[in-house]
A and B are shown apart, each in its own frame.
Chain A
């Protein structure tokens, strides 16, 4: 499922062709303030990449660059390159709507639309024209809810408002909504920070299951969570990607002293 971003096959292939998304020399400015400094980071398919770091370190900024959600923020300027499957996502020919179809996003606070559960999931496929008939659409909604592990809980009340669900269910509804348009990458911005521990465990399991299909990036404040769910971890500090690598290595044998200090709880 490779939607065309609207550009020809790129001339120069990146050496890290395996990476689903690769950022190079990425800098982001909010007005005069620089939020990200020269970040190089690869995101691989079928892996969970977690981004950790103290508040305001730029990890959410990085995340929002991948589906160009920063475009809507006034005064935000992005320099450097992000390539997805070798295509530059900031190229002028790239349609941001098709990009966001391929890069789904789940937010910190569950934000279902104030519509029915069914409509929440059906909205994306509908605006992208993904299903021709009503039964196609219903099938797609059911399978998305199933993959998000929510279907059994809501199958009898698909017509009820999405906002009537519990926080954890709402977050899984948002995941189902993101899955429904068939993305390749899913970005999650602290998806569990508003949830209780049981709902968090449920989401973490789900993230692990979804890894089989998608490249997943999770921003998290919880180092334990990063250690539990991710294969690779990036540590941001003051807008700089300090260290990036295998999760097990980052948490047991970090190279940088700042990473060491952060994971042992000396700051942050």
Chain B
């Protein structure tokens, strides 16, 4: 470098500024790589869950024409009542149809293998049809029957013929039958609506999330209805009205500590207080909601206090100076301005409540419950608990359902957050 004049030296890059710029660029690179890394982790996580779980939303059914023959059903000729219809041997009808499809099957063992390809609860479908319309008796109907979980896994490609026969649950003969059905057009692929609407079951092919979805919904409604008004009221009192004293300092420290208490402790508290002392029903969403409300309260209080503190004091002074009462100052001016921040805190708290499993285990929401809850007082389970239950079930087909349920949980969370963000933006818009 030829020696530049003093003015030029100030304008051109010298070694020192070069070092500073390099540090600048390096720092930006660190930040960028951190973001990219986080994104990759997220994509990998969601991708693997979606890869494993999306197949749970489709299923295969065996569409057959069966004859509802009274003799096979075990029903007498003449009039029959509902209890007869309930107890009829619908599986017999299905088995007869399967034998008709494969007349070559004769040994007991082979017959068992053949029947095993259809879900053991397939007769339930027929029962529902007949109960809805008893006139169907004696006629032949086309029904879509659920296949067994292992048949479903083979049709979805989870079981391969290449696997050694002894290492899979379906033998070559069974696979041949399924292939034959598929080639003859008996096997139908359809949306698995039961997965979203049905109750839980021991049979993976008919197990559904409906109960857990409703249970989570009821639980969260109770949580929101309790923790939002209580949290905001507590925050307003502490921030706007309570004089600073030892009592309020003590309260503040305790609220901050409560936010960090492990959630299972809240579950134990719920067990001791709500179930054992107050005698509220076990496994009920109302108790789950109470426990989660206790857990969510500190989060909402802390967020709401921060939001209230962020409202400029000049607004309070302005309102006071035109003669607003302290309540009017809070309700007309401070709360509307703090609402977006309060809502953000509520979203965080509710999202955490939605994903919480441990406290619900303690109050019995982990029980096997087949019927979707009819209200906040009837027994239910929640989405994360359902995932936990399915994840530890031995049947391989539950694996796909577990991933599918995680997808539903994430979707539930996204919908909830989207609603809250829309609400927040709307409240922000009014300056």
Are A and B interaction partners? yes
Q: Which residues from chain A sit less than 8 Å from chain B, CB to CB?
A: 67, 69, 72, 74, 97-98, 100-101, 104-105, 107, 109, 111-115, 123-124, 127-128, 161, 163, 174, 177-178, 180-181
Contact indicator B315/A111 (Cβ below 8 Å): yes
CB of A125 to closest CB in B, whole Å:
9
| B431 contact from A97, A105, A115, A128, Cβ within 8 A | A115
Known contacts A111-B314, A113-B333, A123-B332; A98 and B321 CB within 8 A of each other:
no
Query: Which of the 9-residue segments B66-74, B82-90, B322-330, B396-404 touches chain A?
Result: B322-330
Contact indicator A109/B321 (Cβ below 8 Å): no
CA distance A254 to B277 in the complex (A): 79
CA distance A180 to B322 in the complex (A): 9
Contact indicator A72/B320 (Cβ below 8 Å): yes
CA distance A188 to B220 in the complex (A): 51
| B315 contact from A69, A114, A177, A180, Cβ within 8 A | A114
- In the assembled complex, B244 has its CB within 8 A of some CB on chain A: yes
- Interface SS of chain B: helix
- Residues of chain A within 8 A of B275, CB atoms compared: none
CB of A12 to closest CB in B, whole Å:
29
Chain B, range 279-327, C-beta contacts under 8 Å to A = 312, 314-325
CA distance A98 to B325 in the complex (A): 10
- Residues of chain B within 8 A of A105, CB atoms compared: 317, 321
Known: A107-B321, A123-B319. 5 other contacts (CB 8 A): A74-B244, A100-B320, A107-B314, A111-B312, A127-B322
CA distance A51 to B124 in the complex (A): 90
- Residues of chain A within 8 A of B315, CB atoms compared: 111, 113-114
- Residues of chain B within 8 A of A100, CB atoms compared: 320-323
- Residues of chain A within 8 A of B244, CB atoms compared: 74
Contact indicator A113/B318 (Cβ below 8 Å): yes
Contact indicator A174/B318 (Cβ below 8 Å): yes
Contact indicator B314/A109 (Cβ below 8 Å): yes
Contact indicator B318/A107 (Cβ below 8 Å): yes
- Residues of chain A within 8 A of B324, CB atoms compared: 97, 123, 127
Contact indicator A177/B322 (Cβ below 8 Å): yes
Residue from A101, A114, A180 with most neighbouring chain B CB atoms (10 Å): A114
CA distance A161 to B430 in the complex (A): 9
Contact indicator A67/B333 (Cβ below 8 Å): no
- Residues of chain A within 8 A of B323, CB atoms compared: 97-98, 100-101, 124, 127-128, 181
CA distance A181 to B243 in the complex (A): 30
CB of B360 to closest CB in A, whole Å:
42
Contact indicator B322/A111 (Cβ below 8 Å): no
Contact indicator B321/A104 (Cβ below 8 Å): yes
CA distance A74 to B239 in the complex (A): 13
Contact indicator B322/A123 (Cβ below 8 Å): yes
Total of A-B residue pairs, C-beta within 8 Å: 66
Residue from B316, B317, B323, B431 with most neighbouring chain A CB atoms (10 Å): B323
Contact indicator B431/A69 (Cβ below 8 Å): no
- In the assembled complex, B337 has its CB within 8 A of some CB on chain A: yes
Encoded as 1 (CB less than 8 Å from any A CB) or 0, chain B from 76 to 112 comes to 0000000000000000000000000000000000000
Contact indicator A124/B314 (Cβ below 8 Å): no
CA distance A109 to B312 in the complex (A): 12
Contact indicator B317/A111 (Cβ below 8 Å): yes
CB of B92 to closest CB in A, whole Å:
74
Contact indicator A181/B317 (Cβ below 8 Å): no
Contact indicator A69/B325 (Cβ below 8 Å): no
CB of B388 to closest CB in A, whole Å:
46
Can you list 20 A-B contacts with CB-CB less than 8 angstroms, sorted by A residue number?
A72-B316, A72-B320, A74-B243, A97-B324, A100-B321, A101-B323, A104-B321, A104-B322, A105-B317, A105-B321, A107-B321, A111-B317, A111-B318, A113-B315, A113-B319, A115-B431, A123-B319, A123-B332, A127-B324, A178-B322
Measured CB to CB, the nearest residue on chain B to A109 is B314
Contact indicator B318/A69 (Cβ below 8 Å): no
Contact indicator B431/A127 (Cβ below 8 Å): no
Contact indicator A69/B321 (Cβ below 8 Å): yes
CB of A52 to closest CB in B, whole Å:
22
Residue from B315, B320, B337 with most neighbouring chain A CB atoms (10 Å): B320
Give the 4 A-B CB pairs with smallest separation, nearest first.
A111-B314, A124-B322, A105-B321, A114-B431
Contact indicator B318/A112 (Cβ below 8 Å): yes
CB of A8 to closest CB in B, whole Å:
23
CB of A102 to closest CB in B, whole Å:
9
Measured CB to CB, the nearest residue on chain B to A97 is B323
CA distance A177 to B320 in the complex (A): 12
CA distance A127 to B324 in the complex (A): 7
| A97 contact from B314, B316, B317, B325, Cβ within 8 A | B325
- Residues of chain B within 8 A of A74, CB atoms compared: 243-244
- Residues of chain A within 8 A of B325, CB atoms compared: 97, 127
- Residues of chain B within 8 A of A174, CB atoms compared: 318
Contact indicator A181/B314 (Cβ below 8 Å): no
- Residues of chain A within 8 A of B314, CB atoms compared: 107, 109, 111
CA distance A145 to B236 in the complex (A): 34
CA distance A112 to B314 in the complex (A): 9
- Residues of chain A within 8 A of B430, CB atoms compared: 114-115
CA distance A112 to B318 in the complex (A): 7
CA distance A245 to B321 in the complex (A): 28
- Residues of chain A within 8 A of B337, CB atoms compared: 114
Contact indicator A178/B320 (Cβ below 8 Å): no
CA distance A123 to B314 in the complex (A): 16
Measured CB to CB, the nearest residue on chain B to A98 is B323
CA distance A163 to B315 in the complex (A): 12
CB of B335 to closest CB in A, whole Å:
13
CB of A170 to closest CB in B, whole Å:
11
- Residues of chain A within 8 A of B319, CB atoms compared: 113, 123
CB of B167 to closest CB in A, whole Å:
70
Chain B, range 149-169, C-beta contacts under 8 Å to A = none
- Residues of chain A within 8 A of B243, CB atoms compared: 74
CB of B338 to closest CB in A, whole Å:
12
- Residues of chain B within 8 A of A177, CB atoms compared: 318, 322
CA distance A133 to B326 in the complex (A): 26
CA distance A128 to B322 in the complex (A): 9
Contact indicator B322/A69 (Cβ below 8 Å): no
- Residues of chain A within 8 A of B320, CB atoms compared: 69, 72, 100
CA distance A98 to B430 in the complex (A): 29
Encoded as 1 (CB less than 8 Å from any A CB) or 0, chain B from 408 to 431 comes to 000000000000000000000011
